[in-house]
């Protein structure tokens, strides 16, 4: 791994590239600045270590003083699946990035077996930079295409977390009805999928339509204000109905246990369900992300 001064103007810290020492560092940095560099890279500055595919967007951020903190709002909202399944025994993560969700779940859910699937070996090569545990009984990283892995997976994970992106957006193999059908078939009856959706409205609506159809309409949608993301919760059991009263009380204990605002998450989930937010968003014009 090659460490160099951060080349971006008015910034400090260092950049780390998956390159051997002794190469043409000036040409490498020029390719990073010109967005021609084909591999992911890491920038460490101001107490944070961040993964990038291009400098336009941060893929993952890890605070060095609290590596398990969930820095991005959408990751905190994805953890709201615990309100529906408080003690998962197995979690499948599609997409690794800098491992924010993997680190958090490994720390806070010791009874869960976690498998993270990542297609890009260069992303996996940064696992030590992002303090991910070694492969073992509780945690493993598999290099594979997420859609192919789901189609041939022999396990039945109770929770599947979909957060798989390349430098152009949502991974193309996850943009099909066949993927969502295989995903639903993979889940046990009480299982659920939680997906981070981002991109142009037409793309988001296409994913939501596939989720709604494949999961028999049993989907709850949360917007991420100011980020343009949506988090969708899709339930394998078409008859599943959240226990809202139980959730209201349990959320307070979960806030103390996990350090996330579960009472607020529970309120927003219930409001989204009762107001039909999924249906409204699928038919609404493109506007700034709504708040619930």
Which tens digit of pLDDT belongs to each residue from 223-237? 987 667 899 999 999
Residue in the block written with tokens 């059908």 = 181
pTM: 0.93
Lowest mean pLDDT among 9-13, 26-30, 165-169, 196-200: 165-169
Which tens digit of pLDDT belongs to each residue from 48-76? 999 999 888 899 999 999 999 999 999 99
pLDDT at position 289 is 47
Cβ(82)–Cβ(258) below 8 Å: yes
Label each residue of 50-91 as H, E or C: EEECCCCCEEEEEECCECCCCCCHHHHHHHHHHHCCCCCCEE
Mean pLDDT of the region 103-123: 97
CA distance 249 to 234: 23
Q: Which residues are CB-neighbours of 245 under 8 A, at least 6 positions away?
A: none
pLDDT at position 73 is 93
Which tens digit of pLDDT belongs to each residue from 87-96? 999 999 999 9
* Residue positions annotated with a catalytic role: 163
Question: Cα dist. 240→84, 126, 216, 220, 248 in Å?
Answer: 10, 39, 11, 12, 17
Q: Which H/E stretch holds residue 5? A: strand 2-5
CB under 8 A, 24+ apart: contacts of 236-243 = 236/184, 236/187, 236/188, 236/189, 236/190, 236/191, 236/192, 236/193, 237/189, 237/190, 240/84, 240/190, 242/83, 242/84, 242/269, 242/270, 242/273
Closest CA to 96 of 38, 171, 14, 34: 171
Q: Which CATH architecture has domain 73-283?
A: 3-Layer(aba) Sandwich (3.40)
What DSSP character marks residue 219? E
| Domain locations in the chain as residue ranges | 2-63, 73-283
Residue 264 has pLDDT above 90, yes or no: yes
Which tens digit of pLDDT belongs to each residue from 165-210? 776 677 778 889 999 999 999 999 999 999 999 878 888 888 999 9
pLDDT at position 102 is 98
pLDDT at position 226 is 67
């Amino acid at each position: 791994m090659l460490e160099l001064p951060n080349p971006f103007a008015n910034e400090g810290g260092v950049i780390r590239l998956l390159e051997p020492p002794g190469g043409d560092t000036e040409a490498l940095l020029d390719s990073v600045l010109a967005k021609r560099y084909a591999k992911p890279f890491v920038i460490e500055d101001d107490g944070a270590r961040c993964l990038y595919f291009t400098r336009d967007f941060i893929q993952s951020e890890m605070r060095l003083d609290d590596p398990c903190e969930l820095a991005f709002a959408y990751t905190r909202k994805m953890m709201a699946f615990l309100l529906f399944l408080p003690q998962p025994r197995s979690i499948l993560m599609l997409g690794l990035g800098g491992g924010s969700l993997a680190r958090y779940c490994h720390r806070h859910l010791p009874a869960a077996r976690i498998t993270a699937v990542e297609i890009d070996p260069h992303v996996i090569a940064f696992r030590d930079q992002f303090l991910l545990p070694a492969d073992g009984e509780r945690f493993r990283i598999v290099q594979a295409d997420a859609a192919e892995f789901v189609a041939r997976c022999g396990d039945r994970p109770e929770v599947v977390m979909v957060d798989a992106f390349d430098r152009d957006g949502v991974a193309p193999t996850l943009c099909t009805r066949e993927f969502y059908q295989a995903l639903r078939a993979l889940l046990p009856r009480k299982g659920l999928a939680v997906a981070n959706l981002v991109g142009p409205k037409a793309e988001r609506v296409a994913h939501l339509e596939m989720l709604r159809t494949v999961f028999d309409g049993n989907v709850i949608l949360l917007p991420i204000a100011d980020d343009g993301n949506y988090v969708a919760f899709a339930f394998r059991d078409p008859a599943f109905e959240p226990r809202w009263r139980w959730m209201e009380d349990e959320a307070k204990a979960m806030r103390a246990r996990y350090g996330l605002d579960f009472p607020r998450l529970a309120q927003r989930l219930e409001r989204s369900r009762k107001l039909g937010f999924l249906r409204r968003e699928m038919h609404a014009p493109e506007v700034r992300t709504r708040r619930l």
